[in-house]
């Protein structure tokens, strides 16, 4: 064995190890630099996630119990026919308003629920008017149209 060849071969191996060690040290420095820059961002994101979890948990709509109460309350509203034998239009909308207050319904929910509780000529009245039949019809518009059409003074005329 030639001592010079052994030394040359050992030197090449050492140079290869240095290169590998330099790469490892470079990656470690990069990871530390990245970690130092990302830690505040990650902490901020984690804090935002916690805040949102608390907000979602405290929102009434997020609770399955409140969703069940919605169904129970809607079922308690009596269907309205719009004829002279039943309740007046004012009584119907008073019932909708009362249930809406108890359950914190939005104006859109009030309109949709009111339309869902219509039967007979009252339902036909909605179906015959595009503005009322539309899902986005505001509650105030629905109530105004119904009050005008089904109030005591006009109810008998259209029967």
pLDDT of residue 66: 45
Residues 69 and 144 reside in one and the same domain: yes
Q: Are residues 91 and 146 in the same domain?
A: yes
Domain end marker among 17, 32, 58: 58
Higher per-residue confidence, 34 vs 142 = 142
* Whether residues 146 and 92 fall in one domain: yes
Q: Which residues pair with 90 in a beta bridge?
A: none
Binned at pLDDT 50, 70 and 90, residue 69 comes out as: very low
More confident residue, 36 or 114: 114
Between CA 97 and CA 110 the distance in angstroms is 8
Residue 46 is predicted with a pLDDT of 85
Instruction: Provide the residue range defining the domain that includes 44.
Output: 3-58
Q: What is the pLDDT of residue 155?
A: 44
> How many domains does the chain contain in total?
2
Q: Are residues 82 and 125 in the same domain?
A: yes
pLDDT given for residue 62 in this prediction: 47
Do 32 and 72 share a structural domain? no
Residue 38 above 80 pLDDT?
no
**Are 35 and 97 contained in the same domain?**
no
Instruction: Please state, in angstroms and rounded to a whole number, the distance separating the CA atoms of residues 144 and 126.
Output: 12
Cα dihedral across residues 119, 101, 112, 137: positive or negative: positive
Once rounded to an integer, what is the mean pLDDT over residues 44-68?
71
Q: What is the pTM of this model?
A: 0.53
Instruction: Say whether both 30 and 98 belong to one domain.
Output: no
């Amino acid at each position: 064995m030639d001592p010079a060849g052994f030394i040359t071969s050992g030197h090449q191996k050492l140079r290869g190890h240095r290169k590998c060690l330099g790469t490892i040290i470079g990656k470690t420095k990069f990871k530390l630099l990245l970690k130092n820059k990302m830690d505040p961002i990650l902490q901020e994101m984690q804090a935002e996630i916690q805040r949102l979890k608390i907000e979602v948990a405290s929102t009434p709509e997020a609770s399955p119990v409140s969703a069940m109460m919605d169904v129970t309350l809607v079922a308690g509203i009596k269907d309205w026919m719009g004829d002279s034998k039943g309740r007046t239009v004012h009584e119907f909308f008073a019932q909708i308003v009362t249930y809406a207050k108890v359950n914190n319904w939005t104006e859109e929910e009030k309109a949709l629920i009111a339309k869902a509780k219509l039967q007979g000529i009252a339902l036909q009245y909605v179906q015959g008017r595009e503005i009322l039949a539309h899902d986005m019809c505001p509650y105030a518009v629905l109530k105004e149209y119904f009050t005008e059409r089904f109030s005591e003074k006009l109810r008998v005329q259209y029967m």
